[in-house]
Structure 1
Amino acid sequence: MYISGKESELLISELRAELGARLDGGGKNLIARCPFCGKEGKFGVYIGRETARKKPFMAHCFSCGRSTTTLERLLENLGRMDLLPADTASLDTLPEKALFPLEDVQEEVDDEVGIVPMPDYWRRTFTHPYLQGRGFTYDDYDCFPVGTTCRLNRRWDDYVIFPVVDAGDTVGYVARHTWSKEEIDAHNRWAKRSGDYKILRWRNSTENDFVKLLYNYDAIAEGETDTVVLVEGIFDVVVLTRKLDLYDNRRIAAVATFGKKISRTQIYKLQSKGVRTVVIGYDGDAVEAVKHTASELSAYFEVLIADIPDPEKDWEDLSPEEIYRVFAYGLKTPVEYQLTKIQQ
């Protein structure tokens, strides 16, 4: 069905008024109270350009799962068939699959998380040899709380432990052992022979699934933060914040997804804060992960990719000047990134 630009603008305006909807951060979806289940902020109407997976005016509720795949069916369910352009096909000519698929229910986006206690005897620190060795400054300690158990809890000896905070609540933690990878591997080879305990390089909380969490999420100011740089881990967030001086920047924030992929819940959390642009800043060797994540995000945000020229390096290896050049001259659209990595 062809809809002209003027017709599309009129439809969007009328649907915003009918649903009491707002634009999401990327300007590609109308977000509203679901007309079926009444859940606030869970009903979305896609108004972006047509893609292989999305067509304009498809709608879905992330709470009750009810969906419409055509403009006609959406307007019929809203009781606003008067908005249907006059020259569109009759509903009688539409294939059965285009009708409201009550059985085609997608899972609800579960963004509920519980408060998680920190390990016993955890205390915040403002100086630590391991972190000093990784370049931590006073501003880093102030902006990114971290602590230890002060050798009062053997399970956590030689770990630095970062709380993961969401809306002011601690919803998880990430612990990094202070030994090098070589030292840990050597100990674990000895432990395998002696029967002693193994050391985990990373030891994290288990109460909440990390696909629901984003590190530094509270740095995103709703309605103010326009751009988020997605990175893999906590130290990437700290390094970019320090080297780009983002401590007090309300428009740009670095956020970690705890790995080289992003979940639907994490996308929803970014969307709900009004983020418009996402810059993917995964490590230089994560080519396929970057391509996949860019594809996932493009339906909801303007997407750019910070392409580190040397695949052997990450943000911690780069100087502030090198990082500045990446963001000033090395940002690529997903299509440009695909073309430059065509042989990889």
Structure 2
Amino acid sequence: MELSKEEKEHIIQELSIELHAKPDGSGKNLIVPQCPYCGHEGGKYGIYIGKPTERKKPFMAHCFSCGHSTQTLDQLLTDIGRQDLIVTETFDLNGDKHINSFSFLGDEEKEIDDSLCIVEMPEYYKRTHFNKYLNQRGFTEDDYEYFPVGTTRHMNFKFDDYVIFPIIDTGDVVGYISRHIWNKTDIDEYNRKARRNGKFQIMRYRNSTENDFVKLLYNYDTIIEGETDTVILVEGVFDVISLTRKLNLYNNTHIAIVATFGKKISDIQIYKLQSKRVHTIVIGYDGDAVDAIKKTGERLNEYFDCYIADIEDSSQDFDSMDFWEIYDTFAFRLKTLTEYKLNKIQI
């Protein structure tokens, strides 16, 4: 039986009170802080309250910890002991209903393992507030203050000539990105000679390995649950820092800039954004990443209000653009996914 708008709203309200649940940023799911089946805390139990689709129906529910699912409202209400909310054909609704279910990303239900271990920074790592290489890349005092970075001060051969950025999640270091201070051309030239002479080769990046990077987001802790409405997704650490600097977003709690470490996004990264109740996502990948932007946009569009910052010059990224180029991108070239796809049709 199809519920009326009033019936659905009443049941959502009752479920929110009964289960202490809150809607996520998209408004399509109720996030329950404690699973009623396994008792796991952390918001891994969700109830879908959006519009029906081919694979999802309102009040389907799923726990990403124990895997328990319910497919119907009656099932959910019975399990939580709220049969009084079950609506029948003759029920005069002032009343109630059931909900519960969360088919994450529109895929088949599956466990989302977002667990992370704490990672030790490289031996002899020490934070710095002055670095010649970073200064040449435009780093300011605010950058050093807001984005921890350091070196091993030539006391760890493995990390000589690298700048190292810790990746922080809920206050814990869960990984790091280390970037060699030489440019790619110089590194490639050195490595060609090193291969001929059987010498040690230089890696452009030397990163942590303890946690898979599909579980990580750089600058994630700047997203404040219930306050940060919009997240701009970029590819890398330097994109985050340069965009924050150029738009002066250091203390802005409503907009956060987060890196996905490449031109794609994982289920776990989407789950992490969703759990912070983010409402709007702006994809800010490099201008030449057209196919990747389309794929990422399709995945995000179902769960967030999704837009693309369409960089006019495909050879540029935010790190290389000046303020006015960035301003024009966000002021005049912000597109919905449909608009972006139509704009990128090859004739």
TM-score by length of 1: 0.89
- The answer to whether residue 23 in structure 2 is matched with residue 23 in structure 1 is yes
- CA positional deviation for 1:139: 0.9
**What corresponds to 1:191 in structure 2?**
194
- Could you say if the C-alpha distance between residues 332 and 53 of structure 1 is closer, same or farther in structure 2, counting changes exceeding 3 Å? farther
In structure 2, distance between residues paired with 1:343 and 1:6 = 46
Distance in 1 between residues matched to 2:273 and 2:21, nearest whole Å: 18
Amino acid of the residue matched to residue 197 of structure 1?
A: F
Distance 1:54 1:288, change over 3 A: farther
Aligned-pair CA distance for 1:5: 2.1
- Tell me if 1:293 matches 2:293: no
Contact 1:28–1:299 (CA under 8 A) maintained in structure 2:
no
Matched, 1:318 2:321: yes
Following superposition, the deviation at residue 222 of structure 1 comes to 2.5
Q: Does 1:180 align with 2:183?
A: yes
- Which amino acid is the alignment partner of residue 177 of structure 1? H
Task: For residue 185 of structure 2, give the secondary structure of its aligned residue in structure 1.
Answer: helix
Query: Deviation of residue 73 (structure 1)?
Result: 3.3
Gaps of 5+ in 2: 91-106
Partner in structure 2 of residue 63 of structure 1: 65
Could you tell me whether the CA contact under 8 Å between 1:67 and 1:105 is conserved in 2? no
Distance 1:10 1:42, change over 3 A: same
The 1:337/1:125 distance shift into structure 2, 3 A limit, reads same
Aligned residue identity for 1:54? K
After superposition, the C-alpha distances for 1:280-339 in whole angstroms (9 at most, x for unaligned) are 111112222222222222333222221112222111222111211222222222222222
Unaligned stretches of 5+ in structure 1?
89-103
What secondary structure does 1:278 align onto? strand
Separation in structure 2 between the aligned mates of residue 332 and residue 148 of structure 1, nearest angstrom = 40
CA distance in 1, matches of 2:151, 2:303: 39
TM-superposition CA deviations, 1:54-96 (whole Å, max 9, x none) = 33222111111111233343334334444344349xxxxxxxx
2:228 partner amino acid: T
Partner AA of 1:27 in structure 2: G
Tell me which of 221, 242, 245 is aligned to 1:242: 245
- Structure 1 stretch displaced more, 237-246 or 259-268: 259-268
- The amino acid across from 1:123 in the alignment is K
Matches within 5 A, 1:120-199: 120-199=123-202
Q: Map 1:298-313 onto structure 2 (within 5 A).
A: 298-313=301-316
Q: Secondary structure at the match of 1:342?
A: coil
Distance 1:224 1:281, change over 3 A: same
CA contact (8 A) 1:118 1:173 kept: yes
Quote the sequence identity (%): 61
Distance in 2 between residues matched to 1:57 and 1:87, nearest whole Å: 18
Paired position in structure 2 for 1:101: none
Number of residue pairs the alignment of both structures matches: 330
Which whole-Å CA distance do the structure 1 matches of 2:299 and 2:114 have between them? 18
Distance 1:256 1:24 in 2: 21
SS of structure 2 residue aligned to 1:270: helix
**Cα-to-partner distance string for 1:102-122 (whole Å, 9 max, x where unaligned):** xx9844222221221111111
Could you say if the C-alpha distance between residues 286 and 51 of structure 1 is closer, same or farther in structure 2, counting changes exceeding 3 Å? farther
- Is the contact between residue 174 and residue 202 of structure 1 (CA under 8 Å) also seen in structure 2? yes
Q: Distance in 2 between matches of 1:337 and 1:4?
A: 36
- Cα distance change on mapping 1:289 and 1:53 into 2, 3 Å: farther
The answer to which of 125-134 and 243-252 deviates more is 125-134
Residues 262-301 of structure 1 correspond to what in structure 2 (within 5 A)? Answer: 262-301=265-304
Measured on the aligned residues, the alpha-carbon RMSD in Å equals 2.2
CA distance in 2, matches of 1:34, 1:298: 27
